Structure 1
Amino acid sequence: MRESMVAGIAAVLLGAAGPALGKVAPVEAKILGQELTPVGAERSANSAGTIPAWTGGLKTPPNGWRKGEVEINPFPEDKPLFVITAENLHLYRDKLSDGHVRMLEQYGSDFFMPVYQTRRSAAFPEHVYEKSRENAVKAELLDNGNGVRDTIMTSPFPIPANGLEAIWNHILRYRGTEVAFRSGSATPQRDGSYNPVVNDYEYFFGYSKKGAELPEIDNKIFYLKTDTISPSSLAGTITLVHETLDQIRSPRLAWRYDAGSRRLRRSPNLAYETNLPNSSSLRSVDQKDMYNGAPNQYDWTLKGKRELFVPYNAYKLHDSGVKPDDVIRARHINQSLTRYELHRVWVVEAKRRTGIGHIYDRRVFYLDEDSWQIVASEEYDQEGKLWRVSEAHNISYYSEPVFWTTMEMTYDLNAERYYIDGLDDGFPAYDFNPGFRGGDFTASAARRDARR
């Protein structure tokens, strides 16, 4: 089955079907740099010309930006081409996800989508592209689909044959090798009032470290430590996560230090449908980063590609002068700060497996073809009704060529509330070279940090 699917997708996207093999044929992998981009996206423009050809993405920072500063808008002269509202959504319905249609209908004039010129800005370092080409030839799903072998650094399947391969492309996409940043989150009430929670994040991506090999990373994708800064009632809380590549063979390891008890405890349930800490039960743990963790609770189907209006190049939201009060509004964020563009996205549907307990019975993910970043998703309840809609507003970072989120939110359509993460209150720029080592993310290191 996989052999025929790979050959068929290669024939459609590459214009030439090589021999049917369990992995992408070498001749097809070479073509990835021609008809396809190095990450497997269609290099050419669409037939209408509304999606341009990919010419390498945003390779250099704009004039006026200096290293160490928050990213500035590389497209300051861009103005909305048009604005989608509840009144005119019928003109654009074929380019809208079900979640965005529902939000336009439910929130009326309060919710609108400003659509800008499409900028295919996603770009990554050349050594990442080299690994993408190697992964295309070597990478394979494990027999249970809950892990990948013979892959390193970045998305393993530039030509995905099924939904599992596509979702692994998101989970393993390149986000640099290490990064430190401060971010605020909130769960506004229906009237827009909110109390922010501020966390320091530290990531060490062993999987993506240059020169790393799969056996050497000890089944670890990344290490993450979060340290709560405010409010005072939560300050000092530390969460430590060791994210594994095969979470069935070696489950995610997580610890949590509570400042009140002054003890670091294992958190075995920090996964799947567990409520994300400080989310007011508006988001599950596996919605962090739009989707994370073992995919074993769902059956995954690759539904193909669509052209959709999705969040992109969100430099207005990322602007260092934009404060939380500028972003947060009742029921949804300030849509005048958003930017939507027409992009080709992979559509992946996840259906809950029989006998599995999860709050979401069905989920639909929209993955940007140029980065494998999930840019939007829909979450359905046990009766099959659309319950929540999630968005990832992304930018291209400059000090390390990475296309990644600057802000994420999950909208609960029943409660008409939302969870938002990525609020900036004068915080420093992301530091993609903080000098971490794997030893900085052990349980004993976390204990030492907590006692300082």
Structure 2
Amino acid sequence: MRSQFVACIAVLSFGFSGQALSAVSVAEAERLKLDLTPVGAERGANASGSIPEWTGGLTAPPANWREGDIEVDPFPQDEALFVITAGNMHLYKDKLSDASLRMLSQYGPDFFMPVYQTRRTAAFPQHVYDKFYDNALSAKVLDNGNGVRNTIMTSPFPIPENGLEVMWNHILRYRGEEVSFRSASATPQVDGSYNPVVNQYDYYFAYSKRDTELADIDNKIFYLKTDTISPSTLAGTITLVHETLDQVRSPRLAWRYDSGSRRLRRSPNLAYETDLPNSSSLRSVDQKDMYNGAPNQYDWILKGKRELFVPYNAYKLHNQSVRPDDVIRAGHINQKLTRYELHRVWVVEAKRRTGIKHIYDRRVFYVDEDSWQILMSEEYNEDGELWRVSEAHNISYYNEPVFWTTMEMTYDLKSKRYYIDGLNDDFPAYDFNPGFRGSEFTASSARRAARR
């Protein structure tokens, strides 16, 4: 009976009223030790074997990597099995998203998809796996759908029953306890010319700290401080964000320090459809990290799973020697540096709720079963047209067992421009142990830092 119930609600939208959904039973949670991986993915291979069995992921770095270095490719001998182009995409249509089909048809032959052997590299520390199991037994969506309870550290619903639970799994996925890194973003013109913006990112993931309970984090998921390094016209701009768990009950807190006015001001509109700073209006704030923020503007529909060619193991893009000029091309990135693999993904459709204002009327998200990371998304306008396509190119990091983006971009199919973040210009490796304290992410601390 339960399997029939799950199958039924999998194709229905989950609203924001009614009773909170119950956690799974002990018998169901035990599947995370049997036919499912600890994060809730199918442990076994697919029927053809083209998606292999999960055997633990990438748990040890390559022998030629040294701690503190940028990650090196663990599969340097891999060569593309085949390349999908506009000319042969009909042969692979059942394994391509609408986003990929559109990119191939609009930008071919320069846009192509090199497909490699599938490597199920996503892996996490054992204490995170333990929390997946605990969360499965206890986590519940709040009555209004805008938050969760009885969960901590990582994704709450390893055995999801609806689209909203899948999206919460992405929002709350484990990305380490803290991290500091530098990256560049750009919005290339139609001819490929660009001016990069370099930012320093400092994250403190309160929700993912060891030995932390939900009651201890004051409704905060993480704290983020960004400091713009260049160009000189933007240098010194600081943004501080307190990301809240239930953003309807307690909205996201954000401040911005403008070096011109030399004042730290609240930014009450840094959410939803607001233009992402320095994105040339090519990306909304809620597209950062592929999707973030309160889910209350959409009804979420779980469409099931598909086997798709998706960006994965993007170590060529992550390579220390690759510079922005190597990546950026007119219309899209240099596809020679990309790697696509066949993976199982959860498909979630978001339909804008009646009476809600947002530039995207409908969105489709493709969520990795092995990590709960959104790998691709489609953004549709009010006329039902595919307007924008987003990709997240990910790797498994070595300093902390985390599967996370190294580069993500949003393509605007109408303007033929795109926004890209994660460009490397001889920046150091991600530091997953910078030794932050929560007190460093207060408004007063940001104000003092800005005045130095």
Shift of residue 22 of structure 1? 2.6
Q: Matched residues in 1 for 2:134 and 2:6: separation?
A: 16
Cross-structure match for 2:208: 208
Shift of residue 243 of structure 1? 0.2
Contact 1:244 1:252 in 2 (8 A): yes
Cross-structure match for 2:23: 23
Shift of residue 294 of structure 1? 0.1
1:353-364 matches, within 5 Å, as: 353-364=353-364
Q: Which amino acid aligns with 1:236?
A: G
Identity %: 79
Cross-structure match for 2:439: 439
Equivalent position SS for 2:447: helix
Q: Matched residues in 1 for 2:330 and 2:22: separation?
A: 51
Q: Which amino acid aligns with 1:388?
A: R
Cross-structure match for 1:335: 335
Cross-structure match for 1:375: 375
Deviations 1:54-81 (A, max 9, x none): 0000000111101100000000000000
Cross-structure match for 2:78: 78
Shift of residue 30 of structure 1? 1.6
Cross-structure match for 2:38: 38
Equivalent position SS for 1:169: helix
Q: Matched residues in 2 for 1:161 and 1:29: separation?
A: 13
Cross-structure match for 1:114: 114
Q: Matched residues in 2 for 1:154 and 1:5: separation?
A: 26
1:37-436 matches, within 5 Å, as: 37-436=37-436
Superposition misfits of 4+ residues, deviation over 2 angstroms: 1-10
Mean CA deviation greater in 22-31 or 366-375: 22-31
C-alpha spacing 1:8/1:36, structure 2 compared with 1 (3 Å): farther
C-alpha spacing 1:212/1:8, structure 2 compared with 1 (3 Å): farther
Question: Unpaired runs of 5+ in structure 1?
Answer: 11-20
Contact 1:86 1:105 in 2 (8 A): yes
Q: Matched residues in 2 for 1:33 and 1:415: separation?
A: 48
Q: Matched residues in 1 for 2:192 and 2:143: separation?
A: 47
Task: State the number of aligned residues.
Answer: 442
Q: Matched residues in 1 for 2:81 and 2:5: separation?
A: 38
Shift of residue 7 of structure 1? 8.8
C-alpha spacing 1:439/1:306, structure 2 compared with 1 (3 Å): same
Shift of residue 27 of structure 1? 1.7
Contact 2:9 2:162 in 1 (8 A): no
Q: Which amino acid aligns with 1:43?
A: R
Q: Matched residues in 2 for 1:91 and 1:157: separation?
A: 35
Shift of residue 9 of structure 1? 9.7
Contact 1:3 1:23 in 2 (8 A): no
C-alpha spacing 1:268/1:37, structure 2 compared with 1 (3 Å): same
CA RMSD after TM alignment: 1.4
C-alpha spacing 1:449/1:44, structure 2 compared with 1 (3 Å): same
So what's the TM-score if we normalise by structure 1?
Answer: 0.96
Q: Which amino acid aligns with 1:168?
A: W
Deviations 1:230-259 (A, max 9, x none): 000000000000000000110000000000
So what's the TM-score if we normalise by structure 2?
Answer: 0.96
Equivalent position SS for 1:207: helix
Cross-structure match for 2:14: none
Q: Matched residues in 1 for 2:146 and 2:210: separation?
A: 24
Cross-structure match for 1:15: none
C-alpha spacing 1:5/1:130, structure 2 compared with 1 (3 Å): farther
Cross-structure match for 1:451: 451
Contact 2:57 2:122 in 1 (8 A): yes
Contact 1:2 1:161 in 2 (8 A): no
Deviations 1:32-55 (A, max 9, x none): 111000000000000010000000
Deviations 1:404-432 (A, max 9, x none): 00000000000000000000000000000
Shift of residue 23 of structure 1? 1.8
Shift of residue 28 of structure 1? 1.6
Q: Which amino acid aligns with 1:124?
A: F
Equivalent position SS for 2:109: helix
Contact 1:189 1:417 in 2 (8 A): yes
Q: Matched residues in 1 for 2:238 and 2:309: separation?
A: 37
Q: Matched residues in 2 for 1:388 and 1:375: separation?
A: 14
Shift of residue 6 of structure 1? 4.8
Contact 1:6 1:160 in 2 (8 A): no
Q: Matched residues in 2 for 1:279 and 1:377: separation?
A: 18
C-alpha spacing 1:4/1:177, structure 2 compared with 1 (3 Å): farther
Shift of residue 5 of structure 1? 3.9
Shift of residue 8 of structure 1? 8.2
